[in-house]
Amino acid sequence: MNLRQSGDENTMSRPCREFEPLLVLLASGEELDAASHENLTAHLAGCADCSAELGRERELLALLSEHTSEPDAGLLASCRANLEDALDREEEGSWWRRVVGAVVPASWLSPPPAWSAALLVLIGFSVGLFGPRLLRHPTSPASFVISNSADANASGVNANAPASSAPSSLAPASSALSALDLHTADVAGINVFPSGSDEPPQVQLQMRTQQPVTVQGTVDDDNVKNVLCYILQNNDRFGPDVRLNAADLLRARHNDPEVRSVLCHAVRSDRNAAVRLKALEALNGADPGDIMRQTLLDALVDDQNPGVRMEAINELRGMAAKGELASDDDHLLSVLRNRMQSDSSNYIRLQSAAAIRDLSGR
């Protein structure tokens, strides 16, 4: 490689100032908007200085590319080993955070120190004030298990799941759950235990009302279904993890009209994009109908999250390919054309065009 004399710089041509930034972007492989690209291309055809500048930009980038540092395998391996050690130390140090976290919500654990101190004072004051009153209430330590399954197989995936327990024989499931006031209940957790066969998995819903309650069964059980639907319909009361699990489990009953309605509601209104996406995935393959079609179109037009819009267009394409969408549906075609022309995602624009082609081919 030869090093040229620096004096040669004075003889170099200068690019046109108004096109300099575009030359940098073009050389770096950035997509220009159509108007800028056309303008620059036309200019380059007639301007030798700018063409030369573009060549120099590309040479510079090629030179820099030859001298990048690629991490060698040994360094990467040692970084991974160090990280594992650091994570082990993090886990050891976090036990006290878990103890506190069981009492204090996780989001309260990371405020500035002054807020943490104030919070601890408030908790201490509250315990002192209300503790004696609570201690005077009769306690019933037993937790009630409402189960429709005689063989609750507890070899589930959740490491914190309780040991296998034979269901207590209490009031029959349906009457016990009807007495459960969902409006004041809280779902503390959802455990899923695979059945190990073609049977649907066992679902265990741990709920808190005036007493701890566990609802257990498969998703075919209407009690389980009702609680899962309630979770999705009241997204301001339940955390995103619980809502995600609920949407995922309801997939098995997506042809149930009530479940389909709840999943469509979640697609439209859940504030968490992952839950909206999970609800869309749960609807995939459900019997097509107006509510499905409209939900997918609304998601494609209104959802701010590109992942959700991608799933919506994927499902619409699937429905179009199966002949489940009418080729003369003006609203559908209008939405697809709009997305094809104006969606910010290139993938969605292409898929919208393909969907239009699928429909017009029939």
Partner 1 sequence: MKSPGEDTTMGISVALDGDTRQAAAARVAEEHELVRKSQAGNRLAFEELVRRYDRDVLRLAMNLVHRAEDARDIYQESFLRVYRNLDRFRFECSFYTWLYRIVTNVGLDHLRRRTSHREDQAPVPEEAEGGTRDFFDRQPELSAASNPEKTLLGQEVGEKIRGAMKRLSPRERIVFEMKHYQGMRLRAIGEMLGTSEETVKNSLFRATKKLRASLDGIR
Shortest distance (Å) from residue 150 CB to partner 1: 29
Binding to partner 1 by residue 11, rule CB under 8 A? no
Binding to partner 1 by residue 31, rule CB under 8 A? yes
Considering only 153, 272, 327, 345, the residue that binds partner 1 (CB under 8 A) is 272
Binding to partner 1 by residue 1, rule CB under 8 A? yes
Which residues are CB-contacts of 150 (< 8 A; sequence separation ≥ 6)? 167
What gap in Å lies between CA 261 and CA 102, rounded to an integer?
35
Alpha helices in 188-238 (DSSP H): 222-233
Considering only 50, 224, 231, 277, the residue that binds partner 1 (CB under 8 A) is 277
Residue found by looking up tokens 């503790």 in the block: 131
Binding to partner 1 by residue 161, rule CB under 8 A? no
Binding to partner 1 by residue 8, rule CB under 8 A? yes
Considering only 26, 40, 57, 145, the residue that binds partner 1 (CB under 8 A) is 57
- Looking from the CA of 270 toward its CB, the CA atoms found within 13 Å total 35
Given a contact cutoff of 8 angstroms between Cβ atoms, the answer to whether 254 and 260 are in contact is yes
Binding to partner 1 by residue 163, rule CB under 8 A? no
Q: Binding-site residue total for partner 1 (CB under 8 A)?
A: 71
Footprint of partner 1 on 102-141 (CB under 8 A) = 106
Tally of CB atoms within 10 A around 185: 18
Laid out side by side, the sheet with 144-147 consists of 144-147, 212-218, 202-208, 186-193
Minimum CB distance to partner 1 smaller for 24 or for 182: 24
The amino acid at 17: R
Residues present in the chain in total: 362
Binding to partner 1 by residue 294, rule CB under 8 A? no
Binding to partner 1 by residue 30, rule CB under 8 A? yes
Minimum CB distance to partner 1 smaller for 134 or for 159: 159
What gap in Å lies between CA 55 and CA 52, rounded to an integer?
5
Binding to partner 1 by residue 75, rule CB under 8 A? yes
* End-to-end Cα, the chain, rounded Å: 62
Binding to partner 1 by residue 100, rule CB under 8 A? no
Minimum CB distance to partner 1 smaller for 4 or for 137: 4
Minimum CB distance to partner 1 smaller for 184 or for 346: 346
Binding to partner 1 by residue 197, rule CB under 8 A? no
Binding to partner 1 by residue 33, rule CB under 8 A? no
Binding to partner 1 by residue 6, rule CB under 8 A? yes
136-140, long-range: CB < 8 A, 24+ apart: 140/211
Residue found by looking up tokens 């019997």 in the block: 287
Binding to partner 1 by residue 357, rule CB under 8 A? yes
Considering only 46, 71, 113, 132, the residue that binds partner 1 (CB under 8 A) is 71
Question: Radius of gyration over alpha carbons of the chain, in Å?
Answer: 30
